[in-house]
Amino acid sequence: MMGGNSAERAISLNSGAAVLDALLRSGVDATGFDPGDQPWVQTFAGRSFDRVFNMLHGRGGEDGVLQGVLDSLKIPYTGSGVLASALSMDKLRTKQCWGGIGLPTPIWREIRTEKDLAACVETLGFPMIVKPSAEGSSIGISRADDWNALETAVRLAAVHDSPVFAEAWISGSEYTVGILKGEALPLIRLETPRSFYDYEAKYQATTTRYHCPSGLDAETEHRLQCLAMASCEALGVEGWGRVDIMLDTDGKPWLIEVNTVPGMTDHSLVPMAAKARGLSFENLVWLILETSF
């Protein structure tokens, strides 16, 4: 399942094509299916599919909607179920869950009206980062260094039709932790000359660097892997996924978000971490497929 009609459609098509090719090379009888902007459920239900390899990024595929449809049709699928998908896609609810059990995540303030801007500045200070709560791939996210930039950032985030919040800026290094069948993969350290790892740094820039091994000592890497696993357990994430973590200049880790359907092109982060573990792309795809059983 790939494509869909979310803001991440193009990325989903790329991921889906790579996964489909790997499945076919492994001898799996697989067919690509793009729900797109169509009433697709009847068409899909009329086909005799055994299970679904979900590569729909963003809304409709990563937020519990597809999972609910497939549960109703009694068709198994890869990855997390309805609740974990919905929670993880909603960055605000994710942070509330983590905060509720004492997992570290940067402080934040929801922005509902212009009156909330002053409270954000008072609580968080500048710089801060402004996000729509229900988009992936850093879509709609921007950094605010002053009042004018904050107003602009809120307008950009509000375009995406979901609650908007501001989060304290964490200075330090960014890491990502792939999760596969109950185990954490080797960490990847992300390095970009941009102000943060935004959409352009992820998909367009040629200056982004990925370090795997991450350069951390074994004890610190293990500690971050355990934190990533705990963050997934708190949300009910199953099968596979990816957790983004910041390590500040004092060495304190901060959970940023969880992706339950990460990118799966041959240059995406989970395949990169799996390769460091000794898994080929085909091996990785097969193991993710096994999460549907």
- Residue 270's pLDDT is what? 97
183 is catalytic: no
Whether residues 133 and 206 fall in one domain: no
Active site residue 51: no
- Do 140 and 55 belong together in one domain? no
Q: What is the pLDDT of residue 201?
A: 47
Give yes or no for a contact between 179 and 153, defined as CB atoms under 8 angstroms apart: no
Residues 188 and 270 in one domain: yes
Q: Global pTM?
A: 0.91
User: Which structural domain, as residue segments, surrounds residue 198?
Assistant: 87-103+171-290
Instruction: Quote the CA–CA distance of 246 and 243 in Å, as a whole number.
Output: 10
- Return the number of other C-beta atoms located less than 10 Å from residue 245's C-beta: 24
Output the domain CATH number for residue 122: 3.30.1490.20
Q: Which residues of the chain have pLDDT under 70?
A: 135-138, 193-206, 266
Distance CA 18, CA 88 (A): 24
**Per-residue pLDDT, 257:** 95
- Same-domain status, 98 and 206: yes
**Is 136 inside any structural domain?**
yes
Active site annotation includes 236: no
From 63, 88, 244, 268, the catalytic residue: 244
Tokens 């193009």 sit at which residue? 10
Is 210 noted as a catalytic residue in this protein? no
In a domain, 19, yes or no: yes
Pick the last residue of a domain from 168, 193, 213.
168
**197 noted as active-site residue:** no
Claim to verify: residue 32 and residue 136 sit in the same structural domain: no
Condensed to tens digits (0 to 9), the pLDDT of residues 98-131 reads 999 999 999 999 999 888 999 999 999 999 999 9
Dist. CA 152–CA 158, nearest whole Å: 10
Amino acid in position 151: E
Instruction: Please state the domain count of the chain.
Output: 3
CA distance 99 to 28: 42
Is 12 annotated in the active site?
no
Active-site residue, selected from the candidate residues 88, 221, 257, 268:
257
pLDDT digits (tens, 9 = 90+) for 182-207: 999 999 999 976 655 555 545 555 67
**Residue 184 in domain:** yes
Q: What pLDDT does residue 43 have?
A: 84
Identify whether 53 is part of a domain.
yes
DSSP-derived 3-state class of residue 49:
coil
Whether residue 160 sits in one domain with residue 35? no
Inside any domain, residue 80: no
Phi/psi for 165 (5° steps) reads: -140, 160
User: Is 23 domain-assigned?
Assistant: yes
**Are 274 and 161 contained in the same domain?**
no
In a domain, 274, yes or no: yes
Q: Would you state the pLDDT for residue 136? A: 56
